[in-house]
């Protein structure tokens, strides 16, 4: 994906399997930059997943609504 041509929902969340658009290479900051996760959660996410997670998974982790690293069978919102 190039910085000049942002994609639509072409990325796949490694946590839930849902499709989403990662804005890392977009001109504007990715919406995920506004989500705050504690250092321990970030470290565990980096160990477990190699790619970006969707906003639904990040929001649920930040809110503590989903037990940490529960089954991958839940869906993205």
Q: Where are the domains of the chain?
A: 11-63
Query: How many whole angstroms separate alpha carbon 7 and alpha carbon 25?
Result: 10
Query: How many whole angstroms separate alpha carbon 26 and alpha carbon 64?
Result: 28
Q: Read off φ and ψ for residue 10, nearest 5 degrees.
A: -110, -5
Structure tokens at 67: 């037990």
Dump pLDDT digits (tens) for 12-67: 999 999 999 999 889 999 999 999 998 888 998 999 998 899 999 999 999 885 54
Where do we find the tokens 């995920």? 32
**74 or 43: whose pLDDT is higher?**
43
């Amino acid at each position: 994906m190039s910085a000049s041509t942002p994609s639509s929902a072409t990325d796949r969340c490694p946590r839930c399997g849902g499709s989403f658009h990662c804005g890392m290479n977009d001109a504007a900051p990715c919406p995920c930059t506004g989500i705050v996760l504690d250092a321990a959660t970030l470290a565990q996410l980096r160990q477990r997943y190699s790619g970006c997670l969707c906003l639904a998974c990040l929001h649920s982790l930040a809110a503590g609504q989903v037990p940490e690293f529960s089954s991958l069978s839940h869906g993205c919102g």
